Amino acid sequence: MSTTAPDRRTRRRRQTIEEILDVALELMAAEGVAALSLSAVARRLGMQPPSLYQYFPSKMAIYDALFQRGAEQFLAAQRDAVAAATTDDVVELHLIGTTAFARWSMENPVYSQLLFWRTVPGFEPSPEAFAPARQAIDDLRAQLQAAVDAGRLHPDAATEEGIALFTSITAGLLSQQLANEPDASFDEGRFSRLLPVVLEMFYQHYAPTRGKR
């Protein structure tokens, strides 16, 4: 019995899964994130709908796989940008990582809608799919704590309150950009180009002297 056949089948299955997700992403871009149809995906791939169920048992399973794929991509974009930085200044590194996340979000609006806005009624990512997003929050917490340890931020910045405020203002900025100028580049966007200003406001709010008179 050949030992290569199972590997070949596994590779082919993985390839088909990726093709399904790519087609689903294209359809979501054209028809709307919540308007995904399994029948439409099957037709685009030239397969019968029952064949599609061999790979994904439901539409929610496709959303879940896309959520995980998108979360892995934006986490990698942030980490790669920080790893390639030529500075060790904690504030500059924070800006670099956040800018990479914002650029990725604008370049991938379908993923952004699925990841950061509740565009699909009833969809909740599985723990496995949500794991990369949780890692991104852990990275943010570590970045804020590094700024606290360096004396650049008040300790409150690295608390749940600080994380909630930071994610709210950055997501709000991106929401405004994607809603009003979806085709603009990050550098030219009326809202996205304000990201350094928004971060400066966050740092001023959590200045090391916060609460001191």
pLDDT digit string, tens, across residues 124-181: 999 999 999 999 999 999 999 999 999 999 999 999 999 999 999 999 999 999 999 9
Amino acid 26: pLDDT = 95
SS3 letters across the chain: CCCCHHHHHHHHHHHHHHHHHHHHHHHHHHHCHHHCCHHHHHHHHCCCHHHHCCCCCCHHHHHHHHHHHHHHHHHHHHHHHHHHCCCCCHHHHHHHHHHHHHHHHHHCHHHHHHHHCCCCCCCCCCHHHHHHHHHHHHHHHHHHHHHHHCCCCCHHHHCHHHHHHHHHHHHHHHHHHHHHCCCCCCCCCCCHHHHHHHHHHHHHHCCCCCCCC
Nearest-angstrom CA–CA distance, 206 and 200: 10
Whether pLDDT at 213 is above 70: no
Contact present, 83 and 106 (Cβ < 8 Å): no
Q: How confident is the model at residue 6 (pLDDT cuts 50, 70, 90)?
A: low
Amino acid in position 48: Q
Q: 21-46: buried (b, 16+ CB within 10 Å) or exposed (e) per residue? A: bebbbebbeeeebeebebebbbebbe
Amino acid 19: pLDDT = 95
Amino acid 50: pLDDT = 86
| Whole-number average pLDDT of the chain | 92
Superfamily holding 64-205: Tetracycline Repressor, domain 2 (1.10.357.10)
Amino acid 1: pLDDT = 46
What dotted CATH number matches 1-57? 1.10.10.60
Nearest-angstrom CA–CA distance, 171 and 190: 15
Q: Quick one: which of 145, 153, 166 has its CA closest to 101?
A: 166
Nearest-angstrom CA–CA distance, 9 and 55: 13
Whether pLDDT at 55 is above 90: yes
Amino acid 212: pLDDT = 63
The 10s digit of each residue's pLDDT in 21-42 is 999 999 999 999 999 999 999 9
Whether pLDDT at 187 is above 60: yes
Whether pLDDT at 65 is above 70: yes
Q: Determine the average pLDDT of the residues in 12-22.
A: 93
Amino acid 5: pLDDT = 53
Q: Please state the domain extents for the chain.
A: 1-57, 64-205
Q: How confident is the model at residue 104 (pLDDT cuts 50, 70, 90)?
A: very high
Q: The whole model's pTM is what? A: 0.90
Same fold, 1-57 and 64-205: no
